[in-house]
Amino acid sequence: MRSNDGTSDLDPERDYIKQQIRQFIEFIARLLGVEQNAREVAAARAELAVAAETALGASPDALERLAVPSAAALLREPERVRAYAAYCAALGELAYREARLEAAELHDRRAMQLYQTILELFPDDPQAQEALAELGRR
C-alpha cells in the first residue's frame, strides 16, 4: 500500500521516522503549554534544538542557513518539513514570550514559508492548512 507521498506504508524505517517526528511535535506542544520565565525559555530553546536535530536528522542551525526551498529539499519528506516548520513556529512563540518581536516574526515567517511549500506539493494537507491559519492569527 502506498501513502499519498508515494512511499510504502509498510516500511519499518519510515514508521520509525514518523514516530520520532510525532514525538517531537508532541514535545513542542508540551513545551509551549507551560508558562515559563526567561531562564526557562532559554533552557526550553536548547532542549528544542536537541530534540529537533534528532527528529529531523539534520542540524536546525544548518537548516536555518538555507533558503526555505533548499531546507525542504534536504529534509525530503513532508513529515520532516512539517516538523521543521513546527520547530520554527515554536521558536517564534518562545521569542514572543521574551518580547523579541523581530526574531519572533522571522521564525514565524519561515514557518509559514515551509507550510506553504508543503501545500505546493500536497494542496489538501490539513495539518499545513491549520498551522498556516494559526500562524496568521498571531
pLDDT tens digits along 69-108: 999 999 988 899 999 999 999 999 888 888 889 999 999 9
Domain coordinates in residue numbering, the chain? 12-136
CA distances, 77 to each of 45, 100, 128, 134 (Å): 24, 31, 14, 22
Helix or strand run (H / E) with residue 71: helix 68-75
pLDDT (0 to 100) of residue 65: 97
Q: Which residue has the cell 520520532?
A: 20
The DSSP secondary structure of 91-131, one letter per residue, reads HHHHHHHTT-HHHHHHHHHHHHHHHHHHHHH-TT-HHHHHH
> In the chain, which ranges are E strands?
none
For position 42, what pLDDT does the model report?
Answer: 78
pLDDT digits (tens, 9 = 90+) for 4-22: 444 455 688 888 888 888 8
pLDDT computed for residue 36 by the predictor: 65
Rounded Cα distance, 29 and 134, in Å = 14
The verdict on pTM exceeding 0.75 is yes
Cell 508515494 found at: 6
Residues 89 and 108 sit within 8 Å (Cβ to Cβ): yes
